[in-house]
Structure 1
Amino acid sequence: MDQIAHQLTERFGHDIADSNRLYDMPLRGDGHSVNVQYDPYNRRLKFFDMTPQDARANSAISDALRTADGGELYSKVIVYARPGQDGWRDSGLRREAIIWGFFGNGDDAELWTRYPLTLRSQDIRQDEGDKVAALAINKEVVEPVLPAGYTCAPASEADATDIAGLMRATFEDYPTPITTEKIAATIRDRTSHFRVVRDPDAALVACASAEIHHTRRSAELTDCATRQDQRGKGLMSRILRALEEDLADEFGITDVYTIARAYEPGMNCSFAKLGYRYTGRLVNNCRMPDGFESMNVWCRNTREPVEAS
């Protein structure tokens, strides 16, 4: 096990499974630190706003980005770096995607990756993913409208049980654990902002959330689920558009992104039809029922209007 694996174990202890925690890794000499986030569920290690010079200032970080073995703790390392840092390529990392406006000052994040487990770096379904991306990119923008009798509204803690039930029914496995308590907590502390659609009988039939990082002023649209018998009605598109409006009006966030399963056309096409732009693919990024799956990254600056066809 490498130095970072030991440091993570020592730092988190019994909380090592809490992927919401940020660990401050000190750098030698200059007195500042780098944020690292450990995601045990997806076996990922993430570094934020780090430069190649920062990496060289900490032997544990340097090892993780070069030759170290993450053992059972992680098999993918991602650096969320500001633009123009080609030193990462010289260090053997590869750039997989870009997230628009990820940092608080509006800078994009370039996602540079390394794989301690070589097998995880291989996208054996790349051609299939390329076809899905091409299909979605060519979709025309369509402004979503709810069917008559359906409502779309922000969720409260009281909706957490129904949201958890819908998500468990939709996903055999999911990149993060699905529990009523976890969903209620994220709504309560405003780290996630959910919207739900209810049918004419007031049943909750679709949901999605914006996972918010308040310091960076960025948000990821995620937790997209629609009851099977309600699909094809445009419910998810209406939720996503409403979430964009909430983020701008309530949180002042206008740079929004999402990651969608690379081999499934549905959500990729949904985001494309809302005016999102494809910005790359994260290889074998998230745990799904059949193992790790690659995810397409889609971004939108909601300050810029989209014209429906």
Structure 2
Amino acid sequence: MDNPLQQKLIKKQGYTLNITFDRFNRRVRVDDYLGNFNGCMTEAIHLAADSDAEKLIVKARHENFQELISRGFLYEGCVDKYFLGSDCFFFAKYFQSNRRSSDKWTEADNILDGVLSLPKKASIAPPQGYQVRKASEEDVSGLADLYGHVFKIYPVPMNQPEYVKKCMQSGTVFYIYEYEGHIVSAASAEVNETYHNAEITDCATLPEHRQFGLMKLLIAKLEEYLADHQIYCVYSIARALSYGMNAVFFQLGYGYRGRLANNCYIFDKIEDMNLWVKN
């Protein structure tokens, strides 16, 4: 199995850098840092340039906001209470102009305007025959089949059972809906035990089952699980051009916190992603 993500912990004189190299999405991401901030950013920019990345993402703390602006980084969004109650700010530096520009930005703005004007409404249980439960390692093949059917392109190889299993073993929690013995909808929570936050991700429903609002119910189940395990900061990124997924998060009480430009490859192209947060 070829894993496109390579995580490294870099320890040098005066600082420590936790960084992820994402070959498939042609980006590098600073997930955490400690010590001399200027040294951290100089190292991160150097590593991103050496790896031919088109975009460098930094998950930054409030005290480093102005420093990143002064180094030419662009502010793209935030996650409230990400660092054990302190906000996380997403900054980006682009190494290619075409990676920065998005010809769908106005269309995404129009979609967001429509979503933000939606009335809040309660979820309704699906028809008889749909069963919801927490997934186990026995479900990895069914999950991989689901993701392979729904997504032509995905940022990580969720269509490979071994990769799904690895996600579970590293702490990612999946909830699923089954119909007639087959997984028809799924969503996961990637838990960060260090900072007690979680990203809702890997949301997929087969087209013929999308009229019943299964995703809203699955995310609500994940939220219950996370609250029971002392995870109170929950966030997600949704395709900016997906009216349905953005509507799901808005109607579940998530707040819009920004847009990550040309963030990852999904479906059939690189796409902007909207950031949604719930505490």
TM-score in terms of structure 1 length: 0.83
* Aligned partners of 1:140 and 1:272 also within 8 Å: no
State how far apart, in whole Å, the 1-side matches of 2:166 and 2:18 are: 23
* Aligned partners of 1:208 and 1:222 also within 8 Å: yes
State how far apart, in whole Å, the 2-side matches of 1:93 and 1:217 are: 27
7, 21, 46: which one aligns with 1:38: 21
Q: Which is greater in Rg?
A: 1
SS at match of 1:99: strand
Matches within 5 A, 1:155-194: 155-178=135-158, 179-187=160-168, 189-194=169-174
Distance apart, 1:38 and its partner CA? 1.1
State how far apart, in whole Å, the 2-side matches of 1:71 and 1:243 are: 36
Q: Is 1:214 aligned with 2:193?
A: yes
Partner of 2:203: 224
Partner of 2:106: 127
* Aligned partners of 1:27 and 1:54 also within 8 Å: no
Unaligned runs of 5+ in 2: none
State how far apart, in whole Å, the 1-side matches of 2:136 and 2:34 are: 40
State how far apart, in whole Å, the 2-side matches of 1:25 and 1:34 are: 5
State how far apart, in whole Å, the 1-side matches of 2:227 and 2:95 are: 39
Partner of 2:75: 95
Q: Percent identity?
A: 31
* Aligned partners of 1:276 and 1:300 also within 8 Å: yes
State how far apart, in whole Å, the 2-side matches of 1:162 and 1:175 are: 19
1:186-238 deviation per Cα after TM superposition (whole angstroms, max 9, x unaligned)? 22x25210000123x33321111111122222111111111111112111110
Partner of 1:22: 7
State how far apart, in whole Å, the 2-side matches of 1:100 and 1:227 are: 32
Matches within 5 A, 1:1-309: 17-19=3-5, 21-28=6-13, 30=14, 32-50=15-33, 53-56=36-39, 59-61=42-44, 63=46, 69-70=49-50, 72=52, 74-84=53-63, 85-103=65-83, 105-149=84-128, 150-178=130-158, 179-187=160-168, 189-199=169-179, 201-249=180-228, 251-301=229-279
In 2 relative to 1, CA 271–58 (structure 1 residues): closer, same or farther, beyond 3 Å?
Answer: closer
Q: Which amino acid aligns with 2:88?
A: A
State how far apart, in whole Å, the 2-side matches of 1:35 and 1:49 are: 5
* Aligned partners of 1:26 and 1:58 also within 8 Å: no
State how far apart, in whole Å, the 1-side matches of 2:58 and 2:127 are: 45
Q: Which amino acid aligns with 2:273?
A: M
State how far apart, in whole Å, the 2-side matches of 1:183 and 1:224 are: 13
Unaligned runs of 5+ in 1: 1-13, 302-309
1:127-162 deviation per Cα after TM superposition (whole angstroms, max 9, x unaligned)? 001011111122222232322322211001111111
Count of aligned positions: 276
In 2 relative to 1, CA 58–256 (structure 1 residues): closer, same or farther, beyond 3 Å?
Answer: closer
In 2 relative to 1, CA 133–53 (structure 1 residues): closer, same or farther, beyond 3 Å?
Answer: farther
Distance apart, 1:181 and its partner CA? 1.3
SS at match of 2:166: helix
Calculate the aligned-residue CA RMSD, in Å: 2.2
TM-score in terms of structure 2 length: 0.91
